Structure 1
């Protein structure tokens, strides 16, 4: 009769145990959300300061056209006002 308390050591089980141990070390999802929000706000401030922009090809009714998107500082007054005034719509 096999002992039911023996630990399986297959490659899949080892992989799952590693993922579980890493997942247990993460903070609560609320704090992960807060940290990522803060990182996004700081990154937008830094990229806006250095005038970072991206050009991409966008499809339009008249054909394809190059579109440029500039990074906006999310901590600026107009951006915070826009975010807070549309908070209910956003969420």
Structure 2
């Protein structure tokens, strides 16, 4: 999946009414770039109580796709956090 396709997925998730995306989190471990969408917890009685909206699965990116996606997110003003997971 290229950076534009990932951005379209993010855009669709951000337009959902049942779950609100707060921000995007990137975890960097060695040469792995893992993207997670972080959702705001929504408690509502307007939806079926047995149904919990599915959150997007984490995506594993390569460095080139990560850098392209960061450029797109900066251009669009979409909030994200980058964490470097360094283990001792």
Which structure dedicates a bigger proportion of its chain to strand?
2
After TM superposition, the score normalised by the length of structure 2 is 0.26
After TM superposition, the score normalised by the length of structure 1 is 0.25
Which structure dedicates a bigger proportion of its chain to helix?
1
